Structure 1
Amino acid sequence: MKISGNTILITGGGSGIGRALAHRFNDLGNIVIVTGRRMGPLTETIGKRKHMTACLLDVADPAAIKSFADSILANHPELNILINNAGVMRYEDMTSARDLGDAEAMVTTNLLGPIRMIDAFVAHLAAQPDSAIVTISSGLAFVPMVAAPTYSATKAAIHSYSLSLREQLRGKTEVIEIIPPAVQTDLTPGQATRDGYLPLETFVDQVMTEFRQRPTPEEIVVERARILRNAEQDQRFPAMMRALNPR
């Protein structure tokens, strides 16, 4: 994937990894469109930067995605990169019957959101030069966090979906999966300052180093995430399950 001269759409660009990637790609000379459910954080992402645009979008709303895609392609026909970053994480207790609202919201946002976004833009992207689709899974796709079962499952699904998408689009559009470790963001309460989590800027520094490789890796796995990504093949899965999920 080339890292400059693109027009890039990033979902969930109002904070965290989405905002940091938006800034880094904009610094490299890309036009960047950020989306989210609230305009305030998106406006903060843009600040006084040039060649950045903010658009409201709830990726949990399929009708909104369709009309949004029509509008974006009318105004930015040069769009060639889609980064599916929007996501939510909730902790769950599955030991008794419960309200499944949180589980359903995670499936809708974390899994159906990217699937619908890709579907809305894939034909356009396949016709563009230097096009790419970036998905963001998690180290928890490979070793689940017991307290976040649905979140972990949606990220495992995104990994699997990315594998199939890559093969179907091979020769047309690059498919790159970012596999983060635990990063200091606002994904969950208190996470932005949680000890032991990778600082956001350090994580994004490492991600951008991987994007500069030629060819771009199909999976961008920073060093902190490798122990989870490779747990099964390294025959460390039971040990990593115990380490990640102490009783």
Structure 2
Amino acid sequence: MKTSGNTILITGASAGIGQQLAWRWSEAGNTVIATARSQKGLEETAKGRDRIHPRVLDVTDPEAVADFARGVVAEFPALNVLVNNAGIMRLEDAAAARDLADDEDMITTNILGPLRMTNALVDHLRTAPDAAIVNVTSGLAYVPSVRGAVYSATKAAARSWTDSLRFALKDAVEVIELAPPGVQTGLTPGQSTREGYMPLDEYIDEVMGLFAQVPTPPVIAVQRVVPLRATIDQEKYDAVFAALNAG
């Protein structure tokens, strides 16, 4: 993935990792389309930054996604990078019956959201120069958190889908997984100051360094998330994946 000269669409860009990516990529000479449900948060993201174009979008609304995709391609025909960052996490007790509304919201946002965004833009991206799709998963996609059981499962699904998407688009679009560890953001209550979590600015610094590598790694994983990824024998996985999908 190029480090500059892109037109990048980032979902969930009103705060946290998405906001920081929008800032860093715009500073590096990219045009950034920042989307989220929060108009106020998007105004903060774009304030004083001419390269950032805020657009309200709810990725859980399939009709809104389809309409938005048509409009954004018309407005920004140079669009060549999609970053599926929007996501939510709800902690829960998986050992007891409960209202599943939060779980359903996580599935809709964390799985259907990226799927719908990609589906709406993939035909355009296949024709765009230097095209890329970045799917934000989590270290919990590799080793789940019991308190975040459904969240972890959605991110594991996103990781699996990303591997398939990378293979399917290998001759047309670069597909990258961004797998954060626990980072000090507002993802869950109190997380922005939670001890032991990685400070957001430190995380983004390391991430931007990894994106600058040539070639770009297929998985952007900072050192703090490496122990979680190490639970998978990558060499064996790659070999079995290739054999399963040969022909």
Q: Whole-Å Cα distance in 1 between the matches of residues 20 and 179 of structure 2?
A: 16
Instruction: Say whether residues 1:125 and 2:125 are aligned partners.
Output: yes
Could you list the structure 1 runs, at least 4 aligned residues long, displaced by more than 4 angstroms after superposition. none
Q: How does 1:33-182 map to 2 (within 5 A)?
A: 33-182=33-182
Q: Report the equivalent of 2:206.
A: 206
3-state SS, counterpart of residue 29 of structure 1: coil
Q: Whole-Å Cα distance in 2 between the matches of residues 83 and 95 of structure 1?
A: 34
The alignment's C-alpha RMSD in Å is: 0.9
Listed as ranges, the gaps of 5+ residues in structure 1 are 235-247
Amino acid at match of 1:168: A
Report the alpha carbon displacement of residue 232 of structure 1 after superposing the two structures with TM: 4.0
Q: Report the equivalent of 2:242.
A: none
Report the alpha carbon displacement of residue 92 of structure 1 after superposing the two structures with TM: 1.3
3-state SS, counterpart of residue 227 of structure 1: helix
3-state SS, counterpart of residue 185 of structure 1: coil
Report the alpha carbon displacement of residue 10 of structure 1 after superposing the two structures with TM: 0.2
Listed as ranges, the gaps of 5+ residues in structure 2 are 235-247
**Identity rate, percent:** 53
Give the TM-score normalised by the residue count of structure 1. 0.93
3-state SS, counterpart of residue 148 of structure 1: helix
Q: Whole-Å Cα distance in 1 between the matches of residues 145 and 23 of structure 2?
A: 30
3-state SS, counterpart of residue 103 of structure 2: helix
Report the alpha carbon displacement of residue 52 of structure 1 after superposing the two structures with TM: 1.1
Amino acid at match of 2:33: I
3-state SS, counterpart of residue 53 of structure 2: strand
Note if contact 2:94-2:146 (Cα within 8 Å) is conserved in structure 1.
Answer: no
Q: Whole-Å Cα distance in 1 between the matches of residues 212 and 146 of structure 2?
A: 35
Amino acid at match of 1:207: V
3-state SS, counterpart of residue 187 of structure 1: coil
Report the alpha carbon displacement of residue 94 of structure 1 after superposing the two structures with TM: 2.2
3-state SS, counterpart of residue 154 of structure 1: helix
Report the alpha carbon displacement of residue 70 of structure 1 after superposing the two structures with TM: 0.8
Report the alpha carbon displacement of residue 96 of structure 1 after superposing the two structures with TM: 2.4
3-state SS, counterpart of residue 32 of structure 1: strand
Amino acid at match of 1:163: D
Q: Whole-Å Cα distance in 2 between the matches of residues 135 and 232 of structure 1?
A: 19
Give the TM-score normalised by the residue count of structure 2. 0.93
Report the alpha carbon displacement of residue 38 of structure 1 after superposing the two structures with TM: 1.2
Q: Whole-Å Cα distance in 2 between the matches of residues 160 and 232 of structure 1?
A: 13
Amino acid at match of 2:67: S
Report the alpha carbon displacement of residue 83 of structure 1 after superposing the two structures with TM: 0.3
Instruction: Say whether residues 1:186 and 2:201 are aligned partners.
Output: no
Note if contact 2:179-2:225 (Cα within 8 Å) is conserved in structure 1.
Answer: yes
Q: Whole-Å Cα distance in 2 between the matches of residues 232 and 131 of structure 1?
A: 28
Amino acid at match of 2:139: G
1:83-139 CA deviation, whole Å, 9 max, x = no partner?
A: 000000001112222110000000000010000000000010010000000001100
